[in-house]
Amino acid sequence: SFFTADDELLEELDQNIEKYCQDRVPKILCQARVDAVKKFYGKDGKGQKLSNVELDYEQYKSCKLDWFSDEAWNAMCHWWTSEKYKELRKRGQEARFTNEDYAQQRGGSLPFPTIQQNLEYRFGPEKAGGLDTYKVQMAGFKASLSGSGKTLSKKVQKRIVDYSQAMEKEYGEEWEKRNELDGTVMYQTFDGLKHGRFPMGNGSLKKAEVLATVKHKRTRYSGSSYQAMQRQNEELQQEVAELRERDARREQMMQHQQDLLKALCQKVNIDIPPTILTSWESQQARTSESRIDDSNNSEQEGVHAE
């Protein structure tokens, strides 16, 4: 075996291998068709773009690759010459070519962890950081080694800028010292995981850990929001209590003034003007309604408190 893993990591290892195979096998089969075309043309095909050339069933069959079994090769020859395959192939080409910025990964389909391991082996861990590896992956591994690699995709350039700004906001100016990609920052910056994949460094980040961290942060923020709302509610209750106390004092003062006016009118033997009596009655009615509302609110607050 060319790698080892602890027993507690075997399940995760199996999942990673399964995902890798699901991603890699279709690319191998796609390349197998191109290799068959190259084998058919031999030296005559040198310099031609043979990936666009299609053969018929007998031509494919005569160019069997060594690592295929006869049964599997016959099945692939039937598939490559079927109308369904040609339709899907044409549809995929049209979808790619209609997008001016479609060539985002120029690394020869090398996985992110593979490029990172190669960079670390050749140049040391300080040159194999997450963001550096992503730039090499997008510019092309071989081209980057020769010094001619450039990130041409505008989408990739914007992605790098957005991620860098988010990291600086999260960790400050020294964020570049963090060697690995931050899956949590990436998740929040790019609105989650589209198609279940990280936009950068896919394959090097543990999705379960990132999702757990994001969930924990949301719970923490929700708790903080609840505490802030609770404090605000307590402040409002305090303000309401002060207003009620002020209204009670004002009502008491007005009642005292009414008593004084009644006593004065009796002493000088005059009647209280009807307009004043009407005003007192309407004021008493409003006060009674206010007391009923306060009583109902107090009962509701008591229920919520329980």
Separation CA 75–CA 72 (nearest Å) = 5
Rounded mean pLDDT of 171-179?
A: 84
Separation CA 144–CA 149 (nearest Å) = 4
This prediction has a pTM of 0.48
Q: Which residue has the higher pLDDT, 166 or 143?
A: 166
Mean pLDDT of the chain: 78
Closest listed residue to residue 297, CA positions, set 250, 214, 248, 240: 240
Rounded mean pLDDT of 180-206?
A: 83
> What is the pLDDT, as a whole number, of residue 304?
45
Alpha-carbon torsion angle 228, 229, 231, 233, nearest 10: 170
Sign of CA dihedral 163, 165, 169, 173: positive
For the stretch 278-298, pLDDT in tens is 776 777 776 666 655 555 555
Q: Which residue has the higher pLDDT, 1 or 272?
A: 272
Closest listed residue to residue 125, CA positions, set 180, 203, 183, 201: 180
Name the band, by pLDDT with cuts 50, 70 and 90, for residue 269: confident
Separation CA 78–CA 33 (nearest Å) = 12
Name the band, by pLDDT with cuts 50, 70 and 90, for residue 1: very low
> What is the pLDDT, as a whole number, of residue 303?
37
Triad 129, 101, 110: Cα angle to 5°: 40
> What is the pLDDT, as a whole number, of residue 220?
59
For the stretch 209-223, pLDDT in tens is 888 887 777 665 555
DSSP state of 140: -
> What is the pLDDT, as a whole number, of residue 80?
93
The residue extents of the domains of the chain are: 1-98, 105-205, 210-305
Q: Which amino acid type is present at position 306?
A: E
Residue 150 — left, alpha, or beta (φ > 0 → left; ψ -120 to 50 → alpha)?
Answer: beta
Separation CA 113–CA 126 (nearest Å) = 15
For the stretch 216-252, pLDDT in tens is 776 655 555 666 677 777 777 877 877 788 777 777 7
- Please state, in angstroms and as integers, the Cα–Cα distance from residue 210 to each residue in 10, 14, 16, following that order: 20, 19, 16
For the stretch 89-107, pLDDT in tens is 888 878 766 655 555 444 4
Indicate the angle between helix axes 112-123 and 130-139, nearest 10 degrees: 110
Separation CA 135–CA 145 (nearest Å) = 12
> What is the pLDDT, as a whole number, of residue 290?
60
- Please state, in angstroms and as integers, the Cα–Cα distance from residue 170 to each residue in 174, 214, 306, following that order: 10, 14, 41
Flag whether pLDDT at 71 surpasses 90.
yes
Per the structure block, which two tokens stand in for 21?
A: 């195979």
Per the structure block, which two tokens stand in for 137?
A: 């992956």
Closest listed residue to residue 186, CA positions, set 208, 201, 171, 203: 201
> What is the pLDDT, as a whole number, of residue 46?
74
